[in-house]
Structure 1
């Protein structure tokens, strides 16, 4: 049967159908107006705003009664609407609240606005703004994860991983890289998770002007240097019991491919390849295209093999 029908064959609408269409369009306009008036731009989100940004109806984490409260902060490159839309439609809705940080507002989402021209050099400025923002809502959440807009996060696995950790510990958590500075630092693309205490101490350090605020695209290094000065330590020991990574600095295709076990020496701990690279309880993948975000979401939350 041909599903591509000629619309001219079905041009006669009944009055009842026309009324039905008008009523639904009116409702849609009303709720879009309400949403536009509720969404904030760079301001602290209210409870109602956080609920508007958490519209998950089909996944296991549509409610969070017992686990740690997680706020997600996403570095967004202004103008890349496809990335922001994919993040909003997939994993971000499973956070207990989220915001983007960008040089321009993200439609339909809370945005921390950075008064700069968009470039890779302002990533560190965005992270500073995220930390200041998080400090303002520190009492509402336990943990704050920073990611990029091409990072995919399995929020349920993150919440489970954090169950045994205390948000009063001065720590930020992720996957450890071995280059650039002695003692290592964490991958920003794979995402790092700040405790509530870490946010407080970093913000105090910013106010005391003890950190380096020079623009750089490699925000991980000045962040690590700043953290050490204010008494926040990093924890990159996040492999599972089989030595597989939970925070992945690249996408599954790269990590599954033989020869990429330590990403040319960047990783502190070499991983396996194929299924030995990535934990069954993986938390994040980086360099994920918008279309692959939708695919990951489908494979994780919708595809159900018959048993």
Structure 2
């Protein structure tokens, strides 16, 4: 029979074991909690810091697995859905307007650009929404949009202050075709005589209007034709990426706003906007045409500059791009016209690099590349810090390659005068001696 002493020892041992187990459980729970918190913070930080190109590649990998088992039409519609995630990233943080009103006068000779602006009238209409007016659309208005002959913003709701023209179409990617068809009809009915060419852009597209006018200077506005970033799938003659923007001739707009309103020729809503417009154009007898420059380099771009410079395209792009999905400095025209997925911060960056920053001592001359037939930043900036590798190549391209056609860069004397300083220093030295 166990003694009272033995029972007491057993109880003590059992208490120690239970204590150890409880302590282990507490340590485990504590460690698990800390681990979860750290994992959450790392994940949150990573989502904020992940470059746009990596996000696109991740989305593209999911898209590629979908690609092999779906029709091209279904693929196009899924591709449209990918834009929503990009839109969220580009408009996540509101950006304040940057004013480019320098005290000094620039010495660039823009006589050719001004002449082309008078001769080639372009109406630009931008597709936006009520939620993006202050986040994205305002920055289009403050940058490249001011170089259009006429600039119009279309939304689902009228805003007389901004202003925007409201269309009788619901918001959502499934209604982009309807919004596009109605917008072009509105432009035709109200502004047909005010322009020769009619351009559609998104509120995250950036256009170099001087280069667009130069390209159009060798085209005929009375031809049934339209231009953009050429995709070779879905439609027999191909179609143009909606994000890179596309330009309709006067004759093309006339056909779209008349015969194109018949559902037998053109779908009036639903589907993938750019692909549906491509089918519509083919049915109307409007042709696609080559927009590469005389050296075979691209002018319209459905991604941002870094992606076209560095590559890293999603696999579907190699199936879609009509020009071989090239990459690098040698593949982009010095007179590039458009880029897509350009958020507000990058939009002001492009504005500065293209129209303000200049490498001193290099006066660019105009090139014939058509086929036959910031106040606080110096224009002669020397260095920038925290430049990512992909951005470094972008700077190289914008500073030494990309040019707005018709603007001949002139050198400016922006060094500070040091004569008075030297004189005072000399007098001071004499006093010391």
Give me the TM-score of the superposition, normalised by structure 2. Answer: 0.54
Corresponding residue number in structure 1 for 2:291: 238
Given candidates 262, 265, 270, the residue that maps to 1:211 is: 265
Corresponding residue number in structure 2 for 1:87: 140
Cα 1:203–1:214, aligned 2, differ >3 Å: closer, same or farther? closer
How many pairs were matched up? 252
Corresponding residue number in structure 1 for 2:152: 99
Tell me, in whole angstroms, the C-alpha distance in 2 between the residues paired with 1:86 and 1:177: 28
Corresponding residue number in structure 2 for 1:10: none
Corresponding residue number in structure 2 for 1:75: 127
Corresponding residue number in structure 2 for 1:168: 222
Greater share of residues in helix: 2
Q: By how many angstroms is 1:228 displaced?
A: 2.0
Q: By how many angstroms is 1:231 displaced?
A: 2.1
Greater share of residues in strand: 1
Corresponding residue number in structure 2 for 1:114: 167
SS in 2 for 1:168: coil
Q: By how many angstroms is 1:169 displaced?
A: 0.7
SS in 1 for 2:130: coil
Tell me, in whole angstroms, the C-alpha distance in 1 between the residues paired with 2:217 and 2:115: 16
Cα 1:166–1:92, aligned 2, differ >3 Å: closer, same or farther? same
Tell me, in whole angstroms, the C-alpha distance in 2 between the residues paired with 1:250 and 1:181: 21
Tell me, in whole angstroms, the C-alpha distance in 2 between the residues paired with 1:107 and 1:291: 26
Corresponding residue number in structure 2 for 1:40: none
Q: By how many angstroms is 1:101 displaced?
A: 1.4
Q: By how many angstroms is 1:230 displaced?
A: 2.0
Q: Deviations over 1:123-170 (max 9, x none)?
A: 111111221122121122100011111100000000111011111111
Corresponding residue number in structure 2 for 1:6: none
Given candidates 307, 324, 343, the residue that maps to 1:254 is: 307
Cα 1:306–1:102, aligned 2, differ >3 Å: closer, same or farther? same
Q: Does 1:158 align with 2:205?
A: no
Tell me, in whole angstroms, the C-alpha distance in 2 between the residues paired with 1:140 and 1:303: 33
Cα 1:78–1:62, aligned 2, differ >3 Å: closer, same or farther? farther
Tell me, in whole angstroms, the C-alpha distance in 2 between the residues paired with 1:259 and 1:247: 18
Given candidates 252, 269, 273, the residue that maps to 2:323 is: 269
Gaps of 5+ in 2: 1-99, 362-433
Gaps of 5+ in 1: 1-54
Tell me, in whole angstroms, the C-alpha distance in 1 between the residues paired with 2:358 and 2:261: 50
Q: By how many angstroms is 1:72 displaced?
A: 0.2
Tell me, in whole angstroms, the C-alpha distance in 2 between the residues paired with 1:115 and 1:292: 32
Tell me, in whole angstroms, the C-alpha distance in 1 between the residues paired with 2:162 and 2:271: 24
Q: By how many angstroms is 1:259 displaced?
A: 4.1
SS in 1 for 2:319: coil
Q: Deviations over 1:187-237 (max 9, x none)?
A: 1111110001100011111344433435335211221222222222222x1
SS in 1 for 2:282: helix
Q: By how many angstroms is 1:270 displaced?
A: 1.4
Q: Does 1:197 align with 2:257?
A: no
Cα 1:222–1:258, aligned 2, differ >3 Å: closer, same or farther? closer
Q: By how many angstroms is 1:84 displaced?
A: 0.5
SS in 1 for 2:119: coil
Cα 1:200–1:244, aligned 2, differ >3 Å: closer, same or farther? same
